[in-house]
Amino acid sequence: GAVVSQHPSRVICKSGTSVKIECRSLDFQATTMFWYRQFPKQSLMLMATSNEGSKATYEQGVEKDKFLINHASLTLSTLTVTSAHPEDSSFYICSAVPGATDYEQYFGPGTRLTVT
């Protein structure tokens, strides 16, 4: 099946700094990738849809200036959490869809962000 990787798997940063998370589709091209945030014991919350070569589409309530998304190639999308605060600590998961007729989303392994 399709493989999606994410890096780093864990990151600890100080409040006020920025953190970049990478999401890569390893064996397929993904024109669209998705970024989710998951708090403990909660469901996945869609943050934004990342489109290759164009601006990301953010869900209501997600600050686009705080969560910068770049999808510069068909295999890479990045999420940068700017000026991180402790409340941004969460599990961030990306996903990608391989093709126009494939409904299944393939998830990355997730990134555990801790802001101190």
Partner 1 sequence: GENVEQHPSTLSVQEGDSAVIKCTYSDSASNYFPWYKQELGKRPQLIIDIRSNVGEKKDQRIAVTLNKTAKHFSLHITETQPEDSAVYFCAAQSGGSYIPTFGRGTSLIVHP
Angle value at C-alpha 111, between 25 and 103, nearest 5 degrees: 40
Determine, following the binding rule CB under 8 A, whether residue 49 of this chain makes contact with partner 1. yes
Decide: 35 and 47 in contact? Cβ < 8 Å: yes
Determine, following the binding rule CB under 8 A, whether residue 8 of this chain makes contact with partner 1. no
Determine, following the binding rule CB under 8 A, whether residue 51 of this chain makes contact with partner 1. no
Determine, following the binding rule CB under 8 A, whether residue 83 of this chain makes contact with partner 1. no
Amino acid present at 63: E
Decide: 88 and 62 in contact? Cβ < 8 Å: no
Determine, following the binding rule CB under 8 A, whether residue 13 of this chain makes contact with partner 1. no
Site string for partner 1, 14-43 (x = CB under 8 A): ------------------x-x------xxx
Determine, following the binding rule CB under 8 A, whether residue 93 of this chain makes contact with partner 1. yes
CA dist 52 and 50 (Å) reads 7
* Structure tokens belonging to residue 81: 């959490």
Give contact residues for partner 1 (rule: CB under 8 A). Answer: 32, 34, 41-44, 46, 49, 91, 93, 97, 103-105, 107-110, 112
